[in-house]
Amino acid sequence: MTARSCGVIFENTDKLSGIEFVANLARELTLSTVSWNNGARLPSYSSPSIGDEAGAFLDELDLALQQIDSEPELVEVCLTRFIDRVPAEGMSIQRFSQADQSSPEAAMSLPNSRGWHSRGRCPLPPPLADNLAEVLRVAQVPKPVVVNRSVSQSRSWPYPEVRQAIVRALRKGEQVWGYLTVFNHLEDAEFDRESAWWVEAISQAVEQHLQRMEAERSATELGITTAEVLLRSLQQKDNVTYEHSLRVGELSLLLAKNLGCSFADQQMLYLGAILHDIGKLSIDGSILRKAGDLSDSDLERLREHPQLGHDLLKCFDSLAHILPIALFHHEQPDGGGYPLGLELDQIPWPARLVSVADSYDALTRDRPYRQGYSHERAMQILREGAGQQWDAEMVRALESASEAVESLETRAPLLRVALGGSGLP
């Protein structure tokens, strides 16, 4: 199979499977032409021999990038994996700061506000690398701009230390987000079509996952706004349940960190924990605030709150990932919990973690019928019930963090800090 685009031929594109942009790339890529003082145009190159191995490599890269939730880490992984794919002395990606993404020109005026990532030998420092991209008018074209001797030997070429280069503007949506630059062929030869293909591949990988992370940030923002509304409603309904939910959120976050959970899992657990009892919005306030013993009918109604919370939260797509916490945080490893009587392996691990945090807070707080237990007594109860009422691993995680647990202070819900990507509380 042969794909043609603007007179450029790519062979064997039928062998490319997996990541969709690989095939699209083979159909669309052309070498950019650089004019320098009305000088030479870049020569035409033979087709790249891109096949199954490249498709497999990019599939593997895509899976790795899906686990990344920060732009600097995304850039570092891409550079590390791609540096050996292009015969270059060095490769860099320069990111504009968030405030400067509106225009490359604005970014140029603030050299200390950008992120610089590089591999190998890059002959230009960050400000000059940006200027190189400006000189080549890279932001005006959607594909890699290739510089070889026909351009770099011109008397007016401003960077004699750059003999060959490939430069590609990286975009997030409509904005130029940064530049990818490949410097100097390892053998001082000309960069060919295959090198340009790989530069386009890394660029599209970066852009694809920038868009993914932006979509995830938007979903997180919507989730935060929804959670804030629900928490305010819970506070108005029953402040005791509201404050309990905040403490369970803090404690669950502490456990998640102690277990080495990823930042994304910490976000999920914190949000799920502070909303684990949100089903109590549908429980009569007189039951929630009752000072004496609850009747059998009251207890039966109260035990409906996991299902009620699940049914409420499932109305919001941005909160779909915390549904298991709301529904299963009262399940027990021995099958004695509710609402479904699940056993250990059937209970999602986030719900098992929040269950321990929930129970610890309940044990250490005063009740109308008893005073709250000390930390030591609460931990003893949890240890005795480990494996039956609570997940033993989660109990051990709580015990290993005992000092931090005892000193934990309840704060107002720092949702935009905890969930917004600027660092958890």
What CATH class has 2-213? Answer: alpha beta
CA nearest 350: which of 250, 210, 213, 256?
Answer: 256
CA distances from 101 to 1, 18, 266, 337 (A): 40, 31, 29, 51
Q: Which H or E run includes 170?
A: strand 165-172
Q: Environment class of residue 267 by beta-carbon count within 10 Å: exposed (0-12), middle (13-18) or buried (19+)?
A: buried
For 280-315, the pLDDT digits (tens) are 999 998 898 887 788 999 999 999 999 999 999 999
For 326-339, the pLDDT digits (tens) are 999 999 999 999 99
For 112-168, the pLDDT digits (tens) are 335 899 999 999 998 899 889 988 999 988 889 999 998 899 888 999 999 999 999
For 113-124, the pLDDT digits (tens) are 358 999 999 999
Predicted confidence at residue 219, as pLDDT, reads 84
Task: Let me know: does 159 contact 124? Beta carbons within 8 Å.
Answer: yes
Please compute the mean of the pLDDT values over residues 50-67 and round it to a whole number.
84
Task: Let me know: does 255 contact 281? Beta carbons within 8 Å.
Answer: no
- Work out the pLDDT band at 187, boundaries 50, 70, 90: very high
DSSP string, 350-398: HHHHHHHHHHHHHHTS-BTTBPPPPHHHHHHHHHHHBTTTB-HHHHHHH
Q: Quick one: CATH architecture of 238-418? A: Orthogonal Bundle (1.10)
The structural domains of the chain, with segments of one domain joined by +, span 2-213, 238-418
CA nearest 237: which of 273, 185, 301, 288?
Answer: 288
Phi–psi pair at 171, nearest 5 degrees: -120, 145
As a whole number, the mean pLDDT across the chain is 81
For 218-263, the pLDDT digits (tens) are 888 888 889 999 999 999 999 999 999 999 999 999 999 999 998 8
pLDDT of 379 strictly over 60: yes
